[in-house]
Each structure stands twice: as C-alpha cells, then as structure tokens.
Amino acid sequence: MIKICGKISLMFFLCIIEGFCYSQPCSNPVTSNCSSAIAGTSDFLMSTPGNVDFEFNDMQKYVTGITHSGSTQLRLKVDEIIPGGCKWKLMMYVDNNGHLPNNEWEPLSIYGSSGNNPELNLIQVDVYNGCRTPLKNGIYQTFIGNVQYDILDIIPDLMVRNMPGPCNGTNINGPGSYLTDYNEFNFTIDYRIIPGFNLKPGAYQIKIDFCLVEVP
C-alpha cells in the first residue's frame, strides 16, 4: 500500500519546506498491491535547494515574471507486493493553510491598501522528465479551479498499467525505480509567477503538496 505526499510551502515571495503529510485530497488506497513508501521498500524522495522566494522589486520583474527552474526534484521507487497488481497515480494540489476566501494566498504582511490580493491560480508549475511521462510534460499549468485543494495530475489514474521502458511519453504508472529507469521515475518541477501591476504589495504564502497514491 502506498499513500504519501511531500509538501512544499510557497511564498509570494515563495518558500519551500520538505516533509511528509497525509492530507485531505490524498485518498486512502483501497488496494495493497504496492509496497509502502513508509514501512516497505518503496521510496518517495523529494529535494529542493531550500526556500523558493519570489521577490518583485523592480518593474521588469512585474512584467516578465520570475521563474525558478529545477526547484524541486522528485524521485520515485515503487515496488510491488502482488505481481501484476501494483498501479499508482501522482498528483499535486494547492493549499493556502485554510485562509478565507479560499481562492487567495495566505497573507503574512500587507504593505498597502490598494490592489487585489493574489489568487491561487497565480502560481504556474511545469513538471517534466527525460521520457515525457507527466500528463502535460514541459507545459506550464495553473490551478484553474482556483480553490484550496485544487488538484493537478502528474500521472493520472489510468485504467491500464504502463510499465517502464519505452521512454516515449507514456504515462508510466507501474512498479519501477529511478535507480533503473531514471528518466521515467524522476520528475523536475519549475515554478513561475508573472504578477502584473494590480496586486496589493505584501508577503503571501501557499503550499503545494505532491501525493503518490496506489490505485486499483
């Protein structure tokens, strides 16, 4: 059974915190065909260089935005218990720590009264790897639902089980490892914000959680 998620906190300026969580959108697995990433032999390894801060302090940055490339590296090792049965999905979701309204970033400090509060769909994320296995590999996406716990699929819940090896853009969701099929089980995540000039000056934060969950 695998169900695990790594957490990064994003601030506007944005910061990243590594850890593990069991959160609302990460549903409990209904099968136990995959080895656990906690008590078993599977691994869920997430690394970042530290905090990811977006600090907008000149006009050009407001217009062209700031991109942090390769900020998160996610490596998976998924072992199976029941031969032929282990299948999983990988997703990310946005969390504003329960701030209301639930479509806005959590404010930490406000420096003025004019402008709008940043909304959750401000953050853009790009997930990719060497075999193009993510659902929208190399394409910047936003959380278009624009509410807390809005989900973006990286490897969706598929009817079929795709095993590693082809390295041709297939959404791999069967057992395997970054140790043997690195370009299919390693994911790189970039973050980008292009704020424009209509946002209220201040410091804000959100979190993005990555969830690896077994599916039947």
Does residue 1 surpass a pLDDT of 80? no
Task: List the structure tokens of 67.
Answer: 């991109």
Question: In the prediction, which pLDDT does 19 show?
Answer: 36
Does residue 5 surpass a pLDDT of 90? no
d(CA 79, CA 180): 12
CB of 67 within 8 A of CB of 191? yes
pTM given for the model: 0.88
Phi, psi of 120 (to 5 degrees): -65, -30
Q: Which stretch, 29-38, 58-67, 158-167, has highest mean pLDDT?
A: 158-167
- Dihedral class, residue 192 (left if φ above 0, else alpha if ψ from -120 to 50, else beta): beta
